[in-house]
């Protein structure tokens, strides 16, 4: 394991240098990894491990025909590598619970009786295990309980793998019944294509994950974008201008600079006017949002958010309600403007290529 200084705090992480793919393949040579659920994370982790030479099977209920059909389309063969959940759990030695949190309670009743001694129960999110009073997930003492949580969606896990860069993941061991839980969890973490692995606990993972999703990663991001867009539109700016200054420039330019070398690097590559404004207004936004984040953290820590997830997502009409809420976002002027902007991107690239060929360079004014 490598010791890395993260902003003054030294952490121990695991990279592919310390735990190579060959070592992971050796560690998993006699294992059968059973992916339970072929929805969001399942396809990416399964395909990545398969491509890395690890024996993988899929457990997916035919009661969800779209997920079953997707598995077949991805090359999993019914009766050979694709099974109903019951049979997959019986055949597998590492059981990866990659079903939706709200479905955990139902699926656990199928999985638990088939968890024989020595198997490993794997999660990519601490929700089911930590909130066991809501989900019923209480593993027997004679199995390993491990976690690898990629810091990205299933789509990103697969895309990053195919591009050769991987995606960072956290890992944890909650039960070490066999004495090999750490080796197993690191092997699977490398097997799914993690860029590097950092240690956590199930409790810390689920808390930080729920806060992050509701905060900067999704909820806060969407809310701030909508607020800025609405103010610009209310003051006479066109949909195209409002969307480009709110979303397009962030996603297509600035966030990539943050990714490369950090927020200060992005500031350094913007105009002096942009720098000054950002530095002056950043504290105001922090002051305004800090109380919201504190309230969010407490809502997660008190399990209020977990109870809401189980109650809301477990309703028979949830999918219908979800589609309605997502449609409201999709049909809003802001995101309809976004659809129009995205259709113009290839034309813009063609225009810029043509301009470059004739010696004309595009420039963003200060």
Q: Could you read off the pLDDT of 232-271 as tens digits, one per residue? A: 999 999 999 999 999 999 999 999 999 999 999 999 999 9
- Quick one: pLDDT at residue 44? 96
Which residue spans within 124-192 are E strands per DSSP?
144-150, 167-175
Q: Which residues pair with 199 in a beta bridge?
A: 171
CATH 3.40.50.720 matches 2-200:
yes
DSSP string, 95-122: EEE-S-GGGHHHHHHHHGGG--TT-EEE
CA distance 233 to 243: 9
pLDDT value at residue 349? 55
Answer whether 99's CB lies under 8 Å from 129's CB.
no
Mean pLDDT, residues 142-161 taken together: 94
Contacts of 133 (CB under 8 A, 6+ apart): none
- Residue 150 backbone dihedrals phi, psi, to 5 degrees: -60, 140
pLDDT of residue 166: 87
Catalytic residue selected from 125, 204, 237, 347: 125
Beta carbons within 8 Å of 84's beta carbon, 6+ residues apart: 59, 60, 61, 62
The whole-angstrom distance between residue 167's C-alpha and the CA centroid of its chain comes to 9
Mean pLDDT value across the chain: 92
pLDDT at 362 over 50: no
Backbone angles phi, psi at 196, to 5 degrees: -150, 165
Q: Which two three-digit tokens encode residue 218? A: 């999704």
Task: Give me the mean pLDDT over the 165-173 stretch.
Answer: 93
Q: Are 52 and 76 in contact (CB under 8 A)?
A: no
Tell me the angle at which helices 202-214 and 304-313 cross, rounded to the nearest 10 degrees. 70
Say yes or no to pLDDT of 347 above 60: no
> Helix (H, G, I), strand (E, B), or coil: what is residue 4?
strand
Query: How far apart are alpha carbons 311 and 318 in whole angstroms?
Result: 10
Contact 95, 115 (CB under 8 A): yes
Domain residue extents for the chain:
2-200, 212-357
The confidence band for 348, taking pLDDT boundaries of 50, 70 and 90, is low
Q: Is the pLDDT score of 9 beyond 80?
A: yes
- Contact (CB, 8 A) for 84 and 76: no
**Axis-axis angle for helices 202-214, 219-234 (nearest 10):** 10
Instruction: Determine whether 125 is an active site residue.
Output: yes
User: What's the distance, CA 138 to chain centroid?
Assistant: 25
Residue 358 has pLDDT above 90, yes or no: no
The reported pLDDT for the residue numbered 98 is 95
Tens digits of residue pLDDT in 185-239: 999 999 999 989 999 999 999 999 999 999 999 999 999 999 999 999 999 999 9
Mean pLDDT of 103-112: 94
pLDDT digits (tens, 9 = 90+) for 42-63: 999 999 999 999 999 999 999 9
Q: Strand 144-150 vs strand 167-175: parallel, antiparallel, or unpaired? A: antiparallel
């Amino acid at each position: 394991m490598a010791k890395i200084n993260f902003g003054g705090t030294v952490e121990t992480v695991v990279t592919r240098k310390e735990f190579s793919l060959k070592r992971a393949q050796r560690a998993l040579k006699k294992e059968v990894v059973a992916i339970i659920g072929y929805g969001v994370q399942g396809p990416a982790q399964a395909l990545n491990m398969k491509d890395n030479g690890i024996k993988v099977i899929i457990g997916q209920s035919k009661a969800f025909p779209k997920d079953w059909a997707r598995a077949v389309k991805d090359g999993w063969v019914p009766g050979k590598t694709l099974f109903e959940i019951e049979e997959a759990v019986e055949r597998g030695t590492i059981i990866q619970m990659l079903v939706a949190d709200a479905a955990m309670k139902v699926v656990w009743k199928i999985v638990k009786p088939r968890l024989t001694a020595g198997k490993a129960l794997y999660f990519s999110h601490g929700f089911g295990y930590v909130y066991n009073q809501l989900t019923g997930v209480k593993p027997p003492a004679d199995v390993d309980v491990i976690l690898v949580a990629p810091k990205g969606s299933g789509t990103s896990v697969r895309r990053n793998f195919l591009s050769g860069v991987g995606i960072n993941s956290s890992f944890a061991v909650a039960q070490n019944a066999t004495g090999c839980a750490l080796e197993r969890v690191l092997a699977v973490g490398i097997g799914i294509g993690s860029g590097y692995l950092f240690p956590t606990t199930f409790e810390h993972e689920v808390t930080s994950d729920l806060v992050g999703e509701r905060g900067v990663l999704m909820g806060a991001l969407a809310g701030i974008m909508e607020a800025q867009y609405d103010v610009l539109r209310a003051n006479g700016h066109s949909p195209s201008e409002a969307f480009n200054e709110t979303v397009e420039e962030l996603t297509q330019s600035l966030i990539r600079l943050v990714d490369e070398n950090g927020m200060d690097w992005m500031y350094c590559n913007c105009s002096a006017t942009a720098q000054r404004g950002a530095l002056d207004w950043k504290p105001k936004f922090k002051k305004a949002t800090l109380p919201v984040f504190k309230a969010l953290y407490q809502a997660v820590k008190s399990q209020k958010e977990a109870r809401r997830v189980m109650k809301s997502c477990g309703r028979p009409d949830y999918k219908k309600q979800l589609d309605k809420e997502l449609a409201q976002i999709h049909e809003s002027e802001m995101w309809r403007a976004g659809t129009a902007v995205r259709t113009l991107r290839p034309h813009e690239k063609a225009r810029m290529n043509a301009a470059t060929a004739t010696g004309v360079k595009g420039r963003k004014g200060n």
